[in-house]
Chains A and B, each alone.
Chain A
C-alpha cells in the first residue's frame, strides 16, 4: 500500500531539498572563497602555544566554544542524573573477561595519557583522551563493575565539574590579571592549555562513563555489596 505522505510527499520534498543543497554547495565551493580561515589559522599556530593546528583552534583560537561544549557535556550528565538512579548494571563477568578487562583498562588509561600529551603537536587531545578514559569506564561497567570504576557521587561531582571549572576560572583569572578573557599570556599558553586539557580529559572520561550508567551512581555501600 502506498502512503502518500511517506512515499510521495516526503521523498519528493527531500529530493528537491537535496538538489537545492547540492547546487548551493557547488556554488559555495566554486565561488571566490580562497582559503577561508585556513591560512590565517595556520599562520598563527606558532603563537598558540601548541603546534597541532586543530588543538590551537580548539584550545586557543576558539577556546570559548570548547568551554561551552564541556558545559553541554556536563548538562547532559546532570540531566541524566535528574531522571533517576542508575539501573542494577550487568552481572559479574566470568574470569576470562575479567582478566581481559584487568589488562585493558590500565592500557586505556595509559593510552589516554599519551593522547593527551601528543595532542599538542599531532592529532590527539583532550577529547580523544577523554573518550579513551570513558571507554575504560564502559568496559568496567560491562564487566559488571557497578559504578564503572567511578568514585562515589560525592567525589564524582567535583570530578565531572573539574574540566569546566578549570577552564572557566582560567578564563576569568586571565581577565582579572588584565589580558582579557581566555587570552593566554605569551609563553604561558602551552602550560595553561595543558592544565586545561588535563582537567578536561579527566572530566570527559568520568562524564562519559557516568553517562553510560544512565543514572545517578549507586551509593557507596551498594557498590561495596556488588563488588
Chain B
C-alpha cells in the first residue's frame, strides 16, 4: 500500500512537469493531472475519516531529523475542500483558457495545487516555509496571466508582500529552532513554554501569515491582485490561497502556541477581523466592478474567520470549544466553495458581457441563467443565509458569543451580514430586466456547471449535510 500523503503532493508536481514538457497537450494532461491529484487527496481524507490521523515519515528518518507529513481531521477537511474546488476550477479552466494562455496556466496551476496540498499536510515548520513560497510564487505568476499592466503591477505587489510575510515567518522559525532545537510541529509543541521567545516567534510567524491572509488592514494588496487575475485564478486565489494562510495560522495557534496565548492577542486578531468585516463589506458595496466586489468580499470573509480567535480563546476546553472550532472550519470551507463559485460565475458573465461593470451587466446576467444562479447560490452562502453552511457556522459562533456574553461580535457579524446582502443583491438585481428570455438554462456546460456545483455545495451540501465534518474533526489533532 503506497502512502497517500506524499502522493497528494507529488502527483500534481509530476503533472506540472508533464505539462511543462508537452505544452501542446496542456489541457488534456492538465485535466488528467487535476483528476488524479484530486483523487489522491480525497483518498487521504477518506483514510483519515476511517482510520484516524495519518503520518508519513519521509525518507524513513522520522522526527526530529526527517520531515513528516501528517493529516488529521483539520487538515483532511481543508484538503478535501481545496481539492474539490481546485478540480472544479480545473474543469472550468479547461473551457476558459485559449491555447496560448493554457500553456502557461496549467503547469503553474498544478504547482500551486501541489503547494496547497503540501501546506495542508506539512508537519515541519521549515517545510511549511518552502510550501508557502511555492504557493506565493505560483499564485503571483498565475494572477498576472491576463497580462494587463494592472494585473502585472498588482501581482508584483502581491509577490513582494508575500515575500515579506514569508520572511517574517522564516525569522520566527529560526527563533524556534534556536530556542527549542526542533522543527517538527509536534515536537515544537511539546517544547514550547510561555515566555518572550515563544511570544516573539509566534508574533513573527502569525504576523507573516496574516499578511498573506490579507487581514485588515494588511489587505490592501488583495483586491487589485484578485480582481485583475483571470477568473479561474481569482477563484483559486480567493477561495484557497488566502484560506491556506488562515489554516496555517489556526494550526499554529491551536497546536503549537496554545500555551503561549493570551486573550489580548486573540482579541487583537478579532478586532482586526471585525475591521475587515465592516471595511471589506463596505468597499464591496461601493465597488463598480463585479470582480472587485468579489475581492473585497474576500477581505470581509477573512475577517469573519479571525473573529473566531477571541471566541476560541474565551471558550474553556471541552465540547463547546470543539463545536466552535468545527463551526469555524465549516465557515472557512463554505466560504471556499462559495467564493470560488462566485468568481467562476462572474468570469462567465464578464466573458459574455465583455466587461464586469455591475451597473451594465443586465443583458449578460439575463442571458446566462446558470451563471446567475451560481452567483445567487454562492451569494446566499457568502451572506450567511440558510440553508448554507455559513448560516450554521455563524449561528454556532454567535450562540457561543452570546453564551460568553460577548455580544459585540454579534453586532459586528450582523452588520457584515446585512452589508453582504446589500452587495450580493446589487448584482443579482441586474438579472431582472426587460432583456429577452434566455433560451436555455445551461449554455456552456464545462464552465457553468462547475460554478453551479460549487454554489450548490456551499448552499445545500454544507448547509444540510455538514454533520460528517464533526466526525472528521474528531480524528486526532497534531502534537
Question: Is there contact, CB below 8 Å, between B6 and A61?
Answer: no
CB distance from B141 to the nearest CB of A (A): 3
CB distance from A5 to the nearest CB of B (A): 14
Question: Is there contact, CB below 8 Å, between A24 and B61?
Answer: no
Question: Is there contact, CB below 8 Å, between B137 and A183?
Answer: no
Q: Which residues of B contact A82 (CB under 8 A)?
A: 104, 108, 141, 144-145
Question: Is there contact, CB below 8 Å, between A75 and B111?
Answer: yes
Question: Is there contact, CB below 8 Å, between A71 and B179?
Answer: no
Question: Is there contact, CB below 8 Å, between B67 and A62?
Answer: yes
Q: Which residues of A contact B56 (CB under 8 A)?
A: 180-181
A68 touches which of B107, B134, B178 (Cβ 8 Å): B134
B20 touches which of A36, A74, A79 (Cβ 8 Å): A74
Question: Is there contact, CB below 8 Å, between B60 and A37?
Answer: no
Q: How far is the CA of A83 from the CA of B104 in the complex (A)?
A: 9
Known: A33-B180, A34-B181. A28 touches B197 (CB 8 A): yes
CB distance from B202 to the nearest CB of A (A): 11
Mark out the residues of chain B between 49 and 82 whose CB falls within 8 Å of any chain A CB in the assembled complex.
56-61, 64-67
CB distance from B171 to the nearest CB of A (A): 8
Known: A20-B196, A23-B196. A180 touches B66 (CB 8 A): no
Q: Which residues of A contact B195 (CB under 8 A)?
A: 27
Q: Is A29 an interface residue (CB 8 A)?
A: yes
Question: Is there contact, CB below 8 Å, between A33 and B178?
Answer: yes
Q: Is B21 an interface residue (CB 8 A)?
A: yes
Query: Which of A102-110, A117-125, A140-148, A159-167 forms contacts with chain B?
Result: A159-167
Mark out the residues of chain B between 165 and 197 whose CB falls within 8 Å of any chain A CB in the assembled complex.
171, 175, 177-183, 195-197
Q: Is B238 an interface residue (CB 8 A)?
A: no
CB distance from B453 to the nearest CB of A (A): 28
Question: In the complex, which of the residues A20, A64, A179 has the most CB atoms of chain B within 10 Å of its own CB atom?
Answer: A64
Q: Is B248 an interface residue (CB 8 A)?
A: no
Q: Which residues of B contact A188 (CB under 8 A)?
A: none
Query: Which of B9-17, B211-219, B360-368 forms contacts with chain A?
Result: B9-17
Known: A33-B179, A37-B65. A72 touches B108 (CB 8 A): no
Q: How far is the CA of A30 from the CA of B254 in the complex (A)?
A: 27
Q: Is B322 an interface residue (CB 8 A)?
A: no
Which residue of B has the minimal Cβ distance to A84?
B147
B6 touches which of A40, A165, A181 (Cβ 8 Å): A181
Q: How far is the CA of A146 from the CA of B9 in the complex (A)?
A: 36
Q: Is B138 an interface residue (CB 8 A)?
A: yes
Bitwise, A72-89 to B at CB < 8 A (1) or not (0) is 101110110111100000
Question: Is there contact, CB below 8 Å, between B20 and A160?
Answer: yes
Question: Is there contact, CB below 8 Å, between B59 and A161?
Answer: no
Question: Is there contact, CB below 8 Å, between A27 and B67?
Answer: no
Q: Which residues of A contact B2 (CB under 8 A)?
A: 172, 175-176
Question: Is there contact, CB below 8 Å, between A65 and B200?
Answer: no
Q: Is B369 an interface residue (CB 8 A)?
A: no
Which residue of B has the minimal Cβ distance to A57?
B65
Q: Which residues of B contact A64 (CB under 8 A)?
A: 6, 58-59, 67, 127
Question: Is there contact, CB below 8 Å, between B65 and A172?
Answer: no
Question: In the complex, which of the residues A75, A76, A182 has the most CB atoms of chain B within 10 Å of its own CB atom?
Answer: A75
The 6 A-B residue pairs whose C-beta atoms are closest, nearest first, are A79-B141, A36-B181, A28-B179, A82-B104, A183-B60, A181-B6
Q: Can you identify 11 A-B contacts, CB atoms within 8 angstroms?
A: A20-B196, A21-B175, A24-B196, A62-B127, A64-B127, A68-B130, A72-B134, A83-B152, A157-B20, A164-B13, A184-B59
